[in-house]
Structure 1
Amino acid sequence: MTLPYYASAEQIMRDRSELARKGIARGRSVIALSYADGVLFVAENPSKALHKISELYDRLGFAAVGKYNEFESLRRSGIMHADMRGYSYDRRDVTGRALANAYAQTLGSIFTDQPKPFEVEICVAEVGRAGSDEAAQLYRITYDGSIVDEPQFVVMGGNTEPILTALRSSYRPGLSLEDAVGVAVRALQQPLGNDATPRNLGRGELEVAVLEQARPRRAFRRISGAALEALLPAGTVDGAEPDAPATGTGGTDPDGPASGSEAAPGQSSD
């Protein structure tokens, strides 16, 4: 008689955590940071059609890394949750904390109950009403349902250590939009792995959006084209990276590996 394979609960959870962390770290990074007028999102994303940054509700924004199909389903469910709550009660009752808690419960349940966890990490950002002195809120929710309130900035996906080091040395509260974009882009351009040469990311490789507190109702606004080019730090090349083919097609997967290695079909991560 063959004995069934046994693995302790601790080993199962450890294996799930390792799977999720590897999937999240395989791709390109996203930065969310507070600046003088709200919250700035900057993502390394060559795709024109598949977004890693989006609006959730009037004053709420969403950013994610990992499996595109998984975080896209979370984004859609978050929008539905926010719409239903705003319709049933009041639009002011839709808060970033409530939505972050809902995401944490969903991801925690999937991590515990399902055979495979979601390979995603998400950020929910919120700005106060126009004219108020409420500080912006940034919530990081990880693959296992853990939730952290970040006071200044969030870095997700890819090789986060050099990006975090760059942000800690250059970020300061109350940055203007132009300065905040410069800080975020320079952090994303940090060398990958053992490569000592900083990368050069033009507007063709970046997805940028803001939550502007001064806007009367819908705070979310995308920044692209000439408006983005005017905000990029000096020396940034427009378009694709010098040593890589242009990625102007709309079908580019935002979850493609940052290291250049090919992922299995349907398994790409960012």
Structure 2
Amino acid sequence: MSEHKNILKKIRYVKSEYLDESLLKEYYEYIKNNGIEEVEDVSEADLIISFGGDGTTLVAAKEALKKNVPVMAVNMGSLGYLAEISPENLVEMLKRYQNGQYVVDERAFLEVKYNKKTYYALNELVLLKGGMMSHLIQVEVYENNTFVNEYRADGVIVATPTGSTAYSLSAGGSIVYPGLKAVTITPLSPQGLTARPIIIDGGNTLSFKVFSRDNDAHLNLDGSICIKVKQDDTINARLSNKKVKIIKSGKNDYYSILRQKLKWGDAIIK
């Protein structure tokens, strides 16, 4: 639990387009009464607040890359692995943040170098075929220039520990504790039955060679950036030293969130 108190004067908002503003009436009254203002430029902000689900939190995390400012994620979506604060508890959480009664959950980005450009993904990069009618792609994976495997599949997911409970999990990947410096390689609908997910050291550099019979392969980052990939493109990835700081109450530990979201222990048939 942090003991660092924070002066809160300016907030940058990141909102879902489906946001129900009526749920935030108490919050808006609080910031108005306390002279806290909204800013558009994150460089001026003391805090970023995201209103939505985990997808909105991903957008807020990218904003935090521009300035080392923490993110408070309010769950107004469905799952909410990252966004744990409810709208009705937001005012209380703001007070706790100002008084230093909070926990900082640091999550590492995946640093992706595509040709000469660098991108950051909090969840995953996906190398995948272009569409339903496209042929399977062939992806060669190397770790520090050592050959790992060749996948003939719909695609390959490379997930951070944060992303291990997202797309990778739905494709059969393992859940990875957020504090581990590791990444998961998960094949997406592979042709061979022996292709299985593997967890590797996130400090090592992964590189990829992608082959597509119909020239229809793509690089997707967190579902928000999609780039058509050519056979001679250079693609590298490793876990970055850059992290986003997510403000949490500390009332729920990681495993309690998993039990709640994944319904661990619930009866299958009632």
TM-score by length of 1: 0.22
Structure with the largest fraction of helix: 1
| Structure number with higher strand proportion | 2
Point out the structure with max Rg over C-alpha.
2
The TM-score, its normalising length taken from structure 2, stands at: 0.22
